Chain A
Amino acid sequence: MSISCSRRVGGSAGRRVASFVAATILLAATARAQAAKPATAPEGPGKTLYVKWCSGCHGDGGAGDGYAASYMIPRPRDLTLGNFYIRSTKTGDVPTDADLRRTITDGFPGTAMSGWKTALSTAQIDTLVQYVKKFSPFFSGPAPTVLAAGPEPAPNSEGLVEGRRVYEQLKCFECHGQKGYGDGTSVPTLMDDQKMPIFSADLSKNWTFRGGPTVADIYRGFRTGLNGTPMPAYTAEANNVNDEQLWRLAQYVRSLAPAAPPDTSSMIHATMKMDGPLPATPDDKAWDEVPAHYVPLGGQVAIKPRWFTPSIDGVWVQAMYDMKKLALKLTWHDASRSPDTTFAPWIKKVVETLDHADPPPITAQGPDRIAITFPVKIAADSLRPFFLGGNSVRSAYVWRWSSSPDTAEEGTTRGLARFTPLAAKNGLGHSARYQDGEWQLQFTRALLPVDSTTAPTFGGDLPVPVAFFAADGSNGEIGMRGSMSGWYTIMIHMMGATQ
């Protein structure tokens, strides 16, 4: 009895008195489970598969303490707790086999838990589904009850307005921010059940949602909560929302992201400004007509110190030019305008979590930073400098910006860490805005440099190679720690320039 009714306390159910009693028993049960944690993987079919593929992160005993665990955020799940992101069952119940199968098959985007459908057969995945249940006593209870989902109401504009109202009623902004960019006020203290730091989801990027990208997935997340994370379940009794309102909220959240994940081609098309001068600030209306290209970023791991847990996973790039100048606008989401003292506890947790991080240690919170790498000379051959600001083989031309103090400068680099400000300055202009968890940054430079041996000419007949580096100071990203992209090309179509 004690196990079966106190198995799981999910979300807001704990507010009720009965749940308080249950929670007490749960704590005891959890403590017992942890004390009795087996040092080796339990016997049974699937053990070989588990040891080969899963134990590196989840640990031999399933406690989420594998040898690779301290290299990742979010940390691997402690399987002994029976907590899973994807669950279609009612609060307090364990996930169904189908939920576990989906978890293993599709994995979670952006985490170390990749989908296993390429590496394992369906039969192997089914074996693992049964095997992982051995780690947790919670699975030994009666079969879980699948939550009955109400029908989704047809989407319409009134529904989105209602969804926004529910967003405010349920205080979603406390974690996800007013615009849903993952910048709520509680972000610096967000932790998972294992007291490890966890980012709040950026609702404008549904392709990164752990629970799945569709309206139905989002709705399921509201009904069941994302177990193990601060995302609770929402119920009629505790939160005064009915089923249709949760569907409306799901439709609203889905509407914050583009209809399809952005195209990831290597070309950034620049727009020619035919009337009037180029805008001076990134919030100028003229930018609204320029297509934005999404450049996904990954942790900077090419050079030491390597950084496996970046907070910036992409930047939108726009380019505009006239007969004299080129302007680039970068837009990215960042929960903090660094340095931000409220993020001190976050950095502390990050450093603790990554106890194997490369030296030097992170001692102070730095500013937010951007570095844009170009070749020194744009030539027809395909030779380029290394995308992280060149290296000792071939130097690069770099624009770099820092949020505090708000400065930008151009220089020659032999790697981003070896920056020499340019002597023949080309009047690099910049303008930065921070609002609602979003940075907007514009650079402007003349197409023709003062000295073409130290800086590239833009708008000749050749596309402009460009690579990006971004750092969030409040995530401990100082020096070479940050996110990076490979080489992209800006297509500047100078009419007649090719003739």
Chain B
Amino acid sequence: MTASPARDPSSNRELSFQQPGTGSDPPVPLSGRAEETGEPRVFLWTVLTLLAVYASLRFVVPWISLWLGTSQIPVPVPRFAIGLYMLCAVIGALVYVNSDARRWRLFLGPVVRLFALPRERIRWPQAVVFGAIPLVIGALAWNRVMPSSQPPAQLRMQHPTMPQKYVSLENPFRKLPEAERQKAEAEGVILYQKNCRPCHGTSADGNGPLARGLRLRPVNFTDPGTIATVVEPYVFWRVKEGGIGLPAIGTPWESAMPAWSDLTDDEIWKVVMATYALAGKEPRKPEGASP
């Protein structure tokens, strides 16, 4: 006993290398319940403190930025940062409860009591904990083995780069005098309604009678993100070569768009012009063109 490093038995701050029951404090009985013995409930308070820290990180801190006026909405703390803070909090709490022998024993009391199965009966906290262990393991295993219900990722570029040979093409009918241009456009509308309408719809909204059967929906030309964002020769390329003419990044195997080999180039240009007109869109100007 004299070899004990605890020179000052009255100090609470010394590191406890002493055997249980050798300090100045009376030994804490492991089997007694804190509320019965009147001792502070260290374990419960530790858990509650950690929960409070988590709750403040999760729910209070995000509002600070709002109070400070740096943001219009609460800014959530990243999960990684919450993890780091919680790790620090747990280590701090363990250091605190471990810094005093008596407190450490009070802290361990409920844990030890939980695992020390009495012979006569099983108490409900034990039942809950031991019952939950297989359930948690089962859930983790299920989560790991259960395949996710996500379809396989299909990366598809909607507007892949057009082949070089199309880049400098121009619609010959755009440059015609207005009356002749309108005549060509009207011919294009007829071609559109015969050939394109079944999928792309009478009103160019991609909702023709056959559209429902297509997994890759026909393009809705009235959508500002479609033909309005590309130059006219791009649309010419898409009509002339069809889905099958797409590069692999455009998933040609999914597209039902035919390659319109039965239309002449002039007819395709008319259809292209008519499509823009029906959709109420203008083709994008080629880069470098005068506005």
Contact = CB atoms under 8 A, between A and B. Distances in A.
A159 interface: no
A33 B155 CA distance: 57
A299 B213 contact: yes
Interface in B182-223: 189-190, 193-194, 197-199, 201-205, 207-216, 222
B62 interface: no
B246 to A, nearest CB: 11
Interface string A418-447: 000000000000000000000000000000
B91 interface: no
B291 interface: no
Interface in A36-88: 52-53, 56-57, 66-68, 71-72
Contact of A56 (B202, B254, B255): B202
Contact of B193 (A66, A110, A486): A66
Nearest to A108: B209
Contacts of B190: 56, 67-68
A1 interface: no
A179 interface: no
Contact of B213 (A57, A112, A297, A493): A297
Interface in B254-291: 254-258, 262, 278
A48 to B, nearest CB: 13
B209 to A, nearest CB: 6
Interface stretch (A14-22, A113-121, A225-233, A398-406): A113-121
Given A114-B202, A298-B210, A498-B147, A383 B193 contact: no
B153 A313 contact: no
Given A56-B193, A313-B213, A266 B151 contact: yes
A273 interface: no
Contact of B258 (A267, A297, A301): A301
Interface string B225-249: 0000000000000000011100010
Query: Which of B146, B194, B242, B252 has most chain A Cβ within 10 Å?
Result: B194
Nearest to B199: A301
A349 to B, nearest CB: 19
Contacts of B198: 71-72, 112, 299, 301, 308
Nearest to B144: A499
B203 A53 contact: yes
Nearest to B215: A486
Interface string A290-310: 000000111101111010100
A493 B148 CA distance: 10
Given A53-B203, A267-B151, A498-B147, A483 B213 contact: yes
Q: Looking at chain B, what size class is its interface with the partner chain?
A: 35 or more
A484 B211 CA distance: 11
Nearest to A297: B213
Nearest to B252: A386
A486 B152 contact: no
B188 to A, nearest CB: 12
Nearest to A56: B193
Contacts of B252: 386, 393
B28 to A, nearest CB: 47
B71 to A, nearest CB: 37
B210 A301 contact: yes
Given A53-B203, A356-B194, A486-B254, A110 B212 contact: yes
A386 B242 CA distance: 12
A53 B213 contact: no
A448 interface: no
B220 to A, nearest CB: 9
A387 interface: yes
Contacts of A351: none
B251 interface: yes
B253 interface: yes
Given A483-B213, A487-B254, A113 B202 contact: yes
A486 B147 contact: no
A313 B212 CA distance: 9
A382 interface: yes
Contacts of B154: 382
B212 A112 contact: no
A120 to B, nearest CB: 8
B153 to A, nearest CB: 7
Interface of B: 145-147, 149, 151-155, 189-190, 193-194, 197-199, 201-205, 207-216, 222, 242-244, 248, 251-258, 262, 278
Give the 7 A-B residue pairs with the shortest CB-CB distance, closest first: A298-B213, A486-B215, A119-B203, A298-B210, A56-B193, A68-B193, A302-B256
9 contacts: A52-B278, A112-B208, A112-B209, A119-B222, A266-B151, A296-B212, A301-B198, A387-B253, A485-B214
